[in-house]
Structure 1
Amino acid sequence: MHSFTFYIHFLVLLPSLALALPHGLSRTRLSRRDAGETRNFTVPIYSRKRGGAGAAHERRGTYSGSVGLGDTADLFYTVPITIGDTDTAVNLDTGSSDLWVVSDACKTNVCKTSRMPAYPSSQIKPAGGSVALQYGDSLTGTHAKGPVAQDTASIAGLSMPQQPFAAISDTNNTSVMNGANGIFGLGFPSSSQVQATVINSKFNSPTKTDDFVLGTTQDGPLLSRLAASGALEQPMFTIALQRDTIDIGGQSGSLTVGKLPDGVDNSSLTWVPVRLYTPKLGGLNPPSFAPNEVYPLRWEVLLDAVYLDGQKLADSTVAPQGISNPGLSALIDTGNSILRGPSDVVSSILRSVSPAFAANRNAAPTFPCGTPHNLTFQIGGKMFPVDPRDFVSQNQTNDATTCIANNIVNTDPPSAGALFSWSLGDPFMKSTLVAFYYGNLTHPSVDPPRIGFLSTVPTDAVAELDQAIDDAKENNGNFETTSQIAPTGSASEISVAPSTLAVPTAVSSSASAAPSAPSSTSSSDRSKNGAQPSAHLSTVAVLSTALLSSLIWTLF
């Protein structure tokens, strides 16, 4: 299931309104980043800090875990999870933040087709309130509704007690029909409606975000809680997606929690900061104990440029909606099965690769299978190509001569709460190992969130595509395709106790309060006008002083 969804978040409406969103150190100091400042990191993992604001999140433990992924024809990537006594599988989605599974109370047509174990409604332990999660773009959409419950949740051999999740009793989300029984959102707490619902219930719809920020350790998303617990080796996770179409193989699909995968060296990744969202543009209002902090909303990074077959593509001229130019950025989204970009840039790409589309924009963007194309994203000064095998798709059965470029489509223009102009989904992720580092969730300036990228495209990728075409011709013109069931975890079961945070002393997130940050990489210092935050998060009423609506894409 691909989740490229737009969440509509209403900041500060009614106190009881639930927002619907449903992703070697140098001595250079990292100051509080505003809309026009960003740095690239070469090494993101800090040694332990002692004392100071946010120190509770700087503890480092010894636990980590890894688990393989299921894959339905490169469309839906799933991971096994246990909630209470129910062993099931959920769609892996870095583009959203909430965990939900279907309960046996769901009787919709989609739920009736699911072959995965449903969560018993008789075992629901209410955590307070209910959610109505919305997924979809401006043209399509799905929903998932149900009460917020809590139970022990286990992922990759790591177990967290009293984990809030949504026990869905009404959904039309197609992930349920494709090897999953729900969605596992790995995004930041600021986009979690489940957490917001619990906090509103516990604290009677607070008008400040203090309880929400501090409540992440008890009521936040599963991986955020694990990161905040101090029990993990590092507050991070890494995703590698396998390839099950065109040419089966590539990376060994896995989710690694708490560290980099075995055999992967930290210095081999290109690390860049996650874009932060200010309240003015939909980000989280800072709590009173950290009034100068700016928080991340989703796993979004700045792009240097986009290239096709070695040529830099012109910047998009599509105007953003209701905001000034936010610069070039991308959402890194495993829930999105394709690539999405600005309409004019996507049209330019399709005209370049497809003679049929160049002649008629209503025509399918077909092109010769044997003509490889290199779509590359420059991030942190380095090039990250999409493997040519992940750029092509079979156009018609029994035909390995004419392929189609249907892995790239238009996306909506940037808007408040959704500043990205690209969504890099599974084709990019199949070509790149990606590490997601939460950092300090209460004081991001102390240990900023970032993402590390490592290209896994082989030097002989073109030859591999040629071989795949030859194999397809020998198979009556049909490319390889398969599906895999989500396997079991490799780590032994370890129960992680949630930490409890006291209100920290107020601290400024200015340069003087920030710790040493990794040195910047070679890419030019890019100024972005407005790392404008997205309308984010929870149902904590009064998250912002403006009512912002933002879409967050999620293609299911």
Structure 2
Amino acid sequence: MISLVTLCTALALSQAGYVNASPAPVPTSGPITKRDMRPRYLRDAGSLPERGIFDDGVITLPIRRGPAAQKKAKRQNLVQVPIADNQDISYGVALDIGGQAVTFQVDTGSADLWSMTKDCTTPSGDACAGSSSIPAYTPSKTFKNLGIPLQINYGSSEQPTFASGTIGLDNVTFGGMTQSQQAFASMNSTNNQITDSYSGIFGVGFPYISEIVSTVVDTVLSQTTQQLTGATLLDTYFQAMQESSPLLISLASAGKLKAPMYTLSLQREDPTSADSNAGVMTIGGLPSGISNDSLTWVPVQPYSIDISLFGGLQTPIDATVIAEALKIMPTSPMVWEAPIDGVYVNGQLLKDSTAKSGRRATNPGLTALFDSGTTQTLLTASDLQSPLFPSVNADDGSLPCNTVINMAIGIAGKQFPINPFDLIEPFDENDSEKCVPGISQADPPSETQTFSYILGDAIFRNTLIAFYWGNLTDQASDPARMGFLSTTSASAADAEFSSFWKSAGTTFAFPTAAPQPKVTTTNIANPISAGAGGSGSSGSGSGSGSGGGSSSSGAMGLSKAGWATAAIAGLGFASLLL
């Protein structure tokens, strides 16, 4: 039987420390201005070039906000998210595919990169793009069509959406760095309204939920006439994942990143950008001025691999083969789901935050999904009945826009506050008096989705969140984890909220569509410090910080070296890539 250790190279962060940003000089003459005390990555965010910068194994990208699109759910039977209206805001980055500039919504809750093509149409025959200013992909000279059809389904059964097309390979460039022949999907039909704002979706979740990976694995399995064992099933799966992995996994696997991680923070513009994060994504390391031990680190929730790896496959697999595979690799992470202490309102822990649901996953405590593709904050049904929340109008569910909702998420013994601005949404355009809570109900946890909460854009506007994959095929040697650093002061946020609405009164009106920010192309010095790890010490949470692990290089544990076996050659996978 093949050991998984032979299937991958060990992966860990380097031990080099980050260099702290130098303090700003104190003026010796002239008026004294308020010193910007924000970390350097926040101060420099507005000057980042549109396609980011790449230096010393770390990519830094600006996150640009765009007009809202219909909010989606993730893969069917995995995450169900209600549909949002056009007052919500989505966030995206600019990439280059096959020499063409395209824009994507950044989504931590999915794992596929896809773009609409220029000939993409909706089921009614209309063009997919919401306007002529939304770029679409045209197959380039470097495009290789694998001839594998793909359809990704989103939404609930009541309001389903889809995107369909084919899987192909092309060169992807961003931050001045190119990943050759990256797997992605070129979609020629969709009814997903994300194309009103962007070219498609840039999924940065675990590869195990990638529809591209699952479809390629199914294609390979359908071609084999050999009898599978647990070992060859895992070999087949990870070989297919190596060749069709999501973009960030490909970069890490190729050793192009200093560390197998990224960080994300989002900005708020309406009704005010005061005390909001800047929209920045770093890939391969922490932002400048941020040390490893300044974050609170927690482990990612594990799932049994019959759910995480094989749950998305359409090919029937014998139960004995699954059982053999489970003995070799019992669990893996699946989504960016982490343990939380609970939800606090007005400093009090909500009732559901003290309860534990019985389920099969190895960690029975409360967990939350951290999903940048979801606009609202989704709580349990019991939480929403708490008298700690302000009352809403019985007729239309509205409440005054100046209503303060003091909420924080408890993680590893710390509270991470959310600015009250990020917990209200406009009831109607051009209305400064009526709003609705930016909070709704999550589905109850189940065996295939064990989280009780879905924390969307609001948490990202108030917290820098780090996502570390670890070794994807050997989590025991280097487990996945998430790190959190609050960027919001609860008291300052409350004061700013009250001051804003006191001065704005009824003169403020929410815009009918979020404006596109001016994109600067001015080059600046790389704001990312050298080194992928901090001091190597862990944060206050359970699980080590991203500086832990062995001292081997930062290549993702998916290299082709060590893929053992003549059995793989007989599965016909290589023919898909010729």
Question: Do these two structures clear the TM 0.5 threshold for a shared fold by scoring above it?
Answer: yes
Counterpart residue number, 1:454: 485
| Matching residue's letter, 1:226 | L
Match of 1:218 in 2: 243
Q: Which residue identity lines up with residue 210 of structure 2 in the other structure?
A: S
Q: Is the contact between residue 369 and residue 453 of structure 2 (CA under 8 Å) also seen in structure 1?
A: yes
Aligned equivalents of 2:331, 2:309: Cα separation in 1: 8
CA shift, 1:210, in A, is 1.4
Please, which runs of 5 or more residues in structure 1 have no aligned partner?
1-50, 494-516, 525-556
1:203 offset after TM fit, Å?
Answer: 6.1
* Equivalent residue, structure 1, for 2:380: 342
The answer to which of 309-318 and 450-459 deviates more is 309-318
Equivalent of residue 476 in structure 2, options 445, 450, 458: 445
After superposition, where does 1:348-497 map in structure 2 within 5 Å?
348=386, 352-357=388-393, 360=394, 363-397=395-429, 399-405=431-437, 407-458=438-489, 459-473=491-505, 476-479=507-510, 482-485=514-517, 487=519
Contact kept, 8 Å, 2:11 with 2:471, in 1: the verdict is: yes
Contact 1:57 1:228 in 2 (8 A): no
Bigger Cα displacement from structure 2, 483-492 vs 363-372:
483-492
CA distance in 1, matches of 2:354, 2:294: 35
Q: For 2:404, what is the secondary structure of its paired residue?
A: coil
2:113 is aligned to: 99
**What is the root-mean-square deviation of aligned Cα atoms in Å?**
3.4
State whether residues 205 and 335 of structure 2, in contact with CA within 8 Å, keep that contact through their aligned partners in structure 1: yes
Q: How does 1:270-285 map to 2 (within 5 A)?
A: 270-284=296-310
1:236 is matched with: 261
Q: Which amino acid aligns with 1:163?
A: Q
CA distance in structure 2 between the aligned counterparts of 1:202 and 1:491, rounded to whole angstroms: 46
Matched residue, 1:116: 134
| Aligned-partner SS, 1:355 | coil
**Which residue number corresponds to residue 184 of structure 2?**
165
Counterparts of 2:154 and 2:459, CA distance in 1: 21
Name the CA distance, whole Å, in 1 between partners of 2:454 and 2:460.
11
Q: Which moved more, 1:194-203 or 1:268-277?
A: 194-203
Q: Is the 8 A contact 1:100 1:182 kept in 2?
A: yes
1:132 matches 2:126: no
Shift of 1:220: 0.3
In 2, distance between residues paired with 1:240 and 1:286? 40
CA pair 378-232 structure 1, distance change in 2 beyond 3 A: same
Q: Give the letter aligned to residue 450 of structure 2.
A: L
> Take 2:188 and 2:115, find their aligned partners in 1: how far apart are those partners?
9
Q: CA deviation at 1:62?
A: 3.7
Matches within 5 A, 1:157-306: 157-178=176-197, 180-201=198-219, 204=222, 207=228, 208-249=233-274, 250-284=276-310, 291-306=328-343
Cα gap change, 1:365/1:310 in structure 2, threshold over 3 Å: closer, same or farther?
farther
Query: What is the distance in 1 between the residues matched to 2:149 and 2:324?
Result: 25
**How far is the alpha carbon of 1:317 from its aligned partner?**
11
Cα deviation, 1:291-324, whole Å, max 9, x if unaligned, reads 1352111111111111111111111799989979
Other-structure match for 1:31: none
Where 1:175 maps in the other structure, the secondary structure is helix
Does structure 2 retain, via aligned residues, the 8 Å contact 1:70–1:483?
A: no
Which residue in the other structure is 2:348 paired with?
311
- CA distance, structure 2, for counterparts of residue 266 and residue 319 of structure 1: 31
Moved more, 210-219 or 152-161: 210-219
Equivalent residues of 1:104, 1:121 under 8 A apart: no
Q: Deviations over 1:461-511 (max 9, x none)?
A: 11211232145337x232578433595787999xxxxxxxxxxxxxxxxxx
Residues 495-546 of structure 1: per-residue CA shift (max 9 Å, x gap): xxxxxxxxxxxxxxxxxxxxxx96684679xxxxxxxxxxxxxxxxxxxxxx
**What is the DSSP-based 3-state SS (H/G/I as helix, E as strand, rest coil) of the residue aligned with 1:390?**
helix
Moved more, 212-221 or 282-291: 282-291
Alpha-carbon distance change, 126 to 55 in structure 1, aligned in 2, over 3 angstroms: same
Contact 1:128/1:202 (CA < 8 Å) preserved in 2? no
Change (3 A) 1:62 1:308: same
CA offset at residue 157 of structure 1?
3.2
Indicate yes or no: 2:99 matched with 1:85. Answer: yes
Deviation of 1:162 after TM superposition, in Å, equals 0.8
Q: Distance in 1 between matches of 2:327 and 2:252?
A: 20
User: Kindly, what percent of the aligned residue pairs are identical?
Assistant: 33
Q: Deviations over 1:147-195 (max 9, x none)?
A: 10110112333321111111001101111002x1100000111111112
**Quick check: 1:68 aligned with 2:66?**
no
- Say whether the 8 Å CA contact 1:80–1:486 is kept in structure 2: no
| Residue 231 of structure 1: how far off its partner (Å) | 2.3
Paired amino acid for 1:75: I
Cα pair distance change 1:233/1:283, threshold 3 Å: same
Task: Give the superposition deviation at 1:390.
Answer: 0.7
* Aligned 8 A contact 2:418 2:458 in 1: yes
Alpha carbons of structure 1 residues 397 and 113: separation in structure 2 relative to 1, 3 Å: closer
Listed one character per residue, the Cα deviations across residues 30-68 of structure 1 (whole Å, up to 9, x for unaligned) are xxxxxxxxxxxxxxxxxxxxx987435448694111111
Moved more, 252-261 or 412-421: 412-421
Structure 2: which amino acid aligns with 1:171?
A: T
Please give the alpha-carbon distance, in whole angstroms, between the structure 1 residues aligned to 2:90 and 2:152: 19
> Contact 1:105–1:121 (CA<8 Å) still a contact in 2?
no
Helix, strand or coil for the counterpart of 2:281?
A: strand
Gap change, CA 1:122 and 1:72, over 3 Å in 2: closer
CA contact (8 A) 1:214 1:442 kept: no
- The alpha carbon displacement at 1:244 in A equals 1.4
Note the C-alpha offset of 1:98.
0.5
2:550 maps to none
The question of whether the paired residues in 2 share the 8 Å contact of 1:319 and 1:413 is answered with: no
Cα distance change of structure 1 residues 456 and 247 upon mapping to structure 2, 3 Å threshold: same
What one-letter code is carried by the residue in structure 1 that aligns with 2:58?
S
Q: Deviations over 1:374-411 (max 9, x none)?
A: 11111122111211111122334555444321x11112
Deviation at 1:417, TM superposition (A): 2.1
Alignment partners' CA distance in 2, 1:404 and 1:56: 49
Distance 1:59 1:387 in 2: 33
Shift of 1:460: 0.8
What is the number of residues matched between the two proteins? 442
CA offset digits 1:91-140 (Å, max 9, x no partner): 10000011100012312236142432211146542124111101113543
Higher CA-based Rg: 2
Residue 106 of structure 1 aligns to which amino acid in structure 2? Answer: C
Q: Report the AA paired with residue 383 of structure 2.
A: V
Amino acid in the other structure paired with 1:307: Y
**For residues 456 and 125 of structure 1, do their structure 2 counterparts lie closer, same or farther at Cα, with a shift above 3 Å needed?**
same
Contact persistence 2:308–2:333 (CA under 8 A): no
Looking at structure 2, the residues matched to 447 and 147 of structure 1 have their Cα atoms a distance apart, in angstroms, of 34
Match of 1:104, SS state, is: strand
- Tell whether the 8 Å contact from 1:100 to 1:184 is kept in structure 2 after alignment: yes
TM-score normalised by the chain length of structure 1: 0.72
Equivalent residue letter for 1:337: T
How many Å separate the matches in 1 of 2:542 and 2:406?
A: 21
- C-alpha spacing 1:72/1:470, structure 2 compared with 1 (3 Å): farther
Distance 2:10 2:285 in 1: 19
